[in-house]
Amino acid sequence: DIVMTQTPLSSPVTLGQPASISCRSSQSLVHSDGNSYLSWLHQRPGQPPRLLIYKISNRFSGVPDRFSGSGAGTDFTLKISRVEAEDVGVYYCAQATQFYTFGQGTKLEIK
């Protein structure tokens, strides 16, 4: 099974400052079709996960452009250029190249 490892697990950030979350997979996420099925999800308490980024770097419909994704192979990053109050919650990386597995989650909170 592909294991996803996120760092950090907690990230206190000042409003208006950038934030970055890393995700590493235990093996390459390149699928036989040439795509890498790496997504980033955001979850607020009591709500289902919401898709932010899919296939490493594609913003989902309605996602603000302050969110960006990058990476390749086994190393991926989610960046928020300027954190806003609504960005608090838990962020998960997810891979769907082989089954569907998730990182442990990174809790973003405001300092």
Task: Give the footprint of other proteins on this chain (CB under 8 A).
Answer: 35, 37, 39, 41, 48-51, 54-55, 58, 60, 90, 92, 94, 96, 99-105
Name the minimum Å distance from CB 109 to other proteins.
16
Question: Cα torsion for 60, 62, 65, 68, to the nearest 10°?
Answer: -20
Name the minimum Å distance from CB 8 to other proteins.
15
Is the Cβ of residue 18 or residue 64 nearer to other proteins in the bound state? 64
Burial 38-74 (b: 16+ CB within 10 A, else e): bbbbbeeeeeebebbbbebbebeeebeeebbbebeeb
Is the Cβ of residue 47 or residue 111 nearer to other proteins in the bound state? 47
Is the Cβ of residue 50 or residue 66 nearer to other proteins in the bound state? 50
Name the minimum Å distance from CB 58 to other proteins.
7
Beta bridge partners of 23: 6, 76
